[in-house]
Amino acid sequence: MKKHELVLVIDFGGQYNQLIARRVRENNVYCEILPCTTDIEVIKAKNPKGIIFTGGPNSAYLENSPKINKEIFEIGVPILGICYGVQTMAHTLGGNVRRGNNSEKEYGKTQITYSESTLFEGISTNTVWMSHTDLIDVLPEDFKIVAHTNDCPVAAMENTEKKLYGVQFHPEVEHCLEGDKIIKNFLYNICEVSGDWTTDSFIDDKIKELKEKIGNKKVLCALSGGVDSSVAAVLVHRAVGDNLTCIFVDHGLLRKNEGDDVERIFREKFDMNLIRVNCEDRFLSKLVGVSEPEAKRKIIGEEFIRVFEEESNKLGKIDFLVQGTIYPDVIESGHGDGGASTIKSHHNVGGIPEDIEFEIVEPLRELFKDEVRKIGLELGIEEGLIFRHPFPGPGLGIRVIGTITKEKCDILREADAIYMDELKKAGLYTDIWQAFATLPDVKTVGVMGDERTYAYLVGLRAVTSSDGMTSDWYKMPYDVLEKISNRIVNEVDGVNRVVYDITSKPPGTIEWE
């Protein structure tokens, strides 16, 4: 792949590390996240145009806190430290960091006063987002203060000769007004990047790379119909055409019409070699009487693997296996280096056996989810698929609480379809990170048509989130909830009650099982 300009994000355990990287990418600059323990020679070898230190929950002056090799400040690359990042810069270079007293701690929106600095060119507001207990009270040699607040004397510092900069606040979060300008100033005015990272350049470079890597050999893709595997499949198909075969295992635990939609999109629109394996009865028979969530996951995962193996064995020699691994997967598995990779679990349904003799192709491993969506749209995949809410690999297997039957799955499919339909009609679907219906193993008494009923309860869940790690329940308008409830109770046989989940994560999880 073409070598792009690179900015490194050095991770000190900050909760916003991926957000910083995304902000850099939004400025058309490629970046990678590396742990602060990365060897200095590895950092030098990557030849970055700039380096950003993330925040973190520790205190720079404590012995066991994350440290950085002092040599990093001598390689001549501009560095921006953020929160803990500026504190560890100050501490390492001979300044002093101490714990603030109660009046010196700052959290949330804070008013700041900027001094003249390349970092703050064009900034016209003075509201930033603070989150710190410690503070710098003695600057390292040859640094000067370029911003302060009422309670924080060193809200920003710089050493222009060595191109070292630091801010105590978080310019990467949306609550920091014009924080995006600060990051852009660092990238373009200090690191002097040209901004050569775009979705267009990615697609062209990746297709060329795939053609060179795969040639005329055969490629297999386990297609789930989710965003990542779909975009990966279309990208590889652009490169190798009919040498790609996709296997779509329809285990009967999908949403309403989902299997037909996947088949229509990939077989008809993209003219792919698609094998759809309809095996609802096979999966449901394995799940009879099983109610424990992890047992259900394991059964679904193992059966998926068996079906996948059976179908792939019919195809003869296959050289490559496509996976929809994306950059957050790489980071969460321990900061991958872009080299050989292990086969990851297939969207929470279980791993493909490690002894399968395929070379792994991961065309999206450099991308964040929002970038994957942009690539998907550029490739012509319809918005309905690209912006569809996350769906677990075990599907309705973990949204039907307790034992699973076809009747329960059909009830849940209909209820969920009504829920999604009303969210889209109300223009709320894209405001929500994830929404779904669930069917607890509970029946309640009701009255319909002057007759007593004893029928299922349907639970509705909707959350807002940026990455799924934490979430808050969505404040659904009452009139929309009323329409959804009325339609489900009136249109779905076997349901007489609807409830709405108002639990955040933590303490709850997004899914119920």
**Residues 295-332: tens digit of each pLDDT:** 999 999 889 888 988 888 898 888 999 988 888 777 76
Report the C-alpha gap between 86 and 452 in whole angstroms: 67
φ, ψ for residue 410, nearest 5 deg = -65, -40
DSSP summary character for residue 352: P
SS3 label, residue 79: strand
- Annotated catalytic residue within 4, 91, 132, 170: 170
What Å distances lie between residue 135 and 85, 87, 152, 474, CA to CA?
12, 7, 7, 36
Average pLDDT over residues 246-272: 92
pLDDT score for 345? 36
CA 502 to the chain's CA centroid: 23
Q: Is the pLDDT of residue 104 over 80?
A: no
List residues forming the annotated binding site: 224-230
Does domain 405-500 correspond to CATH entry 3.40.190.10?
no
- pLDDT (average), residues 180-187: 96
Binding-site residues from annotation for ATP:
224-230
Q: How high is the mean pLDDT of the chain?
A: 89
Q: What is the pLDDT confidence band of residue 8, given thresholds at 50, 70 and 90?
A: very high
The three-state secondary structure class of 474 is coil
Three-state SS string over 33-46 comes to EEECCCCHHHHHHC
Q: Are 245 and 275 within 8 A, CB to CB?
A: yes
Q: Is the pLDDT of residue 335 over 60?
A: no
Q: What are phi and psi of 484, to 5 degrees?
A: -60, -50
Q: Is 357 a known active-site residue?
A: no
- Within 277-336, residue ranges assigned H as helices are 280-286, 293-313, 327-332
User: Contact at 8 Å (CB) between 3 and 201?
Assistant: no
- The C-alpha angle 135, 159, 124, rounded to 5 degrees, equals 75
- Provide, rounded to the nearest whole percent, the portion of the chain with pLDDT above 70: 93
Which of 31, 36, 83, 246 is labelled catalytic? 83
Q: In the chain, where are the structural domains located? A: 6-190, 199-386, 405-500
Joined together, the tokens standing for residue 398 give 């973990």
Does 170 participate in catalysis according to the annotation? yes
199-386 placed in CATH 1.20.1090.10: no
CATH of domain 6-190: 3.40.50.880
Q: What is the pLDDT of residue 392?
A: 85
Catalytic residue among 5, 32, 158, 172: 172
> Residue 407 pLDDT more than 90?
yes
Q: Is 128 helix (H, G, I), strand (E, B) or coil?
A: strand
Three-state DSSP class for 14?
coil
Flag whether pLDDT at 265 surpasses 60: yes
For the chain, what's the residue count? 513
* Residue range 227-240: mean pLDDT, rounded: 94
pLDDT value of position 131: 83
Residue 152 bears catalytic tag: no
- Same fold for the domain at 6-190 and the one at 199-386? yes
Phi-psi region of 402 (alpha: psi -120 to 50; beta: other; left: phi over 0): left
Q: What is the pTM of this model?
A: 0.75
- Measured CA to CA, the distance from residue 313 to residue 329 in angstroms comes to 28
